[in-house]
Amino acid sequence: MALIRLLGVASLVSALLLAGCTGHADDSGTVLVAGTSTIGPSDTPAWLADGMVYYLAAVGGESDSPLHLYRTPADGKGKAREIHLSGVTFCRIPYLTSLRRLPDGGLGAVLVCAQEDGSATLVSIDPASGRVAKISGLYGGDDGIWSTAENKGWSAYSQDGCASIEPIDRKGWSAVPPLEPASLLPWDLDADFAAGAGDCTPRGMIGFPAAAPTMDRIVVLASPEAAGVDPGDLGDGRKDLPWHLYGIDLASRQIRQIGGSFVEPKGIAVAGGTALVTARQGLYAVDLASGATRTIAEGDFGAPGLSPDGRSAVFVKFPDPGYPKLLKREIS
């Protein structure tokens, strides 16, 4: 699950400290936040129109502690500041597991109440006050997207090599309708959400939904090659399989393969006609019309966030050896 993955990252970087030295160059981009000995950037940054980049950070030496929320100027001029959450009345100890810029431009996050039932909820966060407001449940998923204007979104499930998506709205979740041509992704794309779904070996993997530009027209990453492959312990049996970018149009019930081939994808960000993908090998830009893929940077990166104008990206780099860094890079 996303929580487990991010808490694993927290364990790796629990000995980091936010350095005051920013704005210098790294071979993958400009450093906005550099980790040192006790605090450091984690994953899934979000870049808002207020000129700030929001990110999660592991603090202290306890791997099971919640990640903290910070913001730092996107121009690299200024220090990172922590945002303290408030108004989380539905959760004793909230765990933020990922951030995103909402379609309305606000700051969104996935929040897990690990000491309650462990379910994940999409929330909005007011950057000025830190106040948290519920948006939608994820109905068994561990990540997702939502549009307040459309009043609907998508939930994504990923655990131990099994991965599915499902549409969600205020009433709950619904099945993914049959899509044509069915031969592209020939399995029930929401199957892993079902109670007692059982062994996912017969099915492929699909996840990482992103609006392109609405909740009825999304892009996803999927691996039909996974069908018939036993995921094994913790999904290790499928970790080296390729994923590809697809477009889904719910209104016309059509699906098309866009292109790309990515191993162990970490996330997608979409702006205009370009999708930015991070995977095991590096950071890539994919043209949504042609499928042409170009390498932006090579390395171990977390999920990307795009600037409001779509011309630059922010992402966390995990060098080995070294401490994680929050980087900014132009992509256009």
Give the CATH number, domain containing residue 73. Answer: 2.120.10.30
Q: What is the mean pLDDT of residues 292-313?
A: 93
Residue in the structure block whose two tokens are 């029930």: 188
What pLDDT is stored for residue 196 in this prediction?
A: 66
Q: How confident is the model at residue 24 (pLDDT cuts 50, 70, 90)?
A: low
Per the structure, the complete domain to which residue 270 belongs is given by 2-330
**Of 136-150, 191-205, 247-261, where does mean pLDDT reach its minimum?**
191-205
Of the candidates 328, 251, 257, which has an alpha carbon nearest to the alpha carbon of residue 29?
328
Q: How confident is the model at residue 38 (pLDDT cuts 50, 70, 90)?
A: low
Alpha-carbon torsion 126, 302, 249, 158, what sign?
Answer: negative
Contacts of 232 (CB under 8 A, 6+ apart): 161, 238
Contact status, residue 292 vs residue 280, Cβ threshold 8 Å: no
Q: What's the number of domains the chain is made of?
A: 1
* C-alpha–C-alpha distance, residues 266 and 42, integer Å: 13
Q: What is the mean pLDDT of residues 233-244?
A: 95
Average pLDDT, the chain: 88
Contacts of 82 (CB under 8 A, 6+ apart): 68, 69, 70
**pTM of structure:** 0.88
* C-alpha–C-alpha distance, residues 126 and 180, integer Å: 40
Q: How confident is the model at residue 5 (pLDDT cuts 50, 70, 90)?
A: very low
**Of 37-51, 68-82, 261-275, where does mean pLDDT reach its minimum?**
37-51
What pLDDT is stored for residue 62 in this prediction?
A: 57
Q: Which residue has the higher pLDDT, 49 or 331?
A: 49
Contacts of 257 (CB under 8 A, 6+ apart): 184, 244, 245, 246, 291
Of the candidates 280, 237, 236, 235, which has an alpha carbon nearest to the alpha carbon of residue 261?
280
Q: How confident is the model at residue 147 (pLDDT cuts 50, 70, 90)?
A: very high
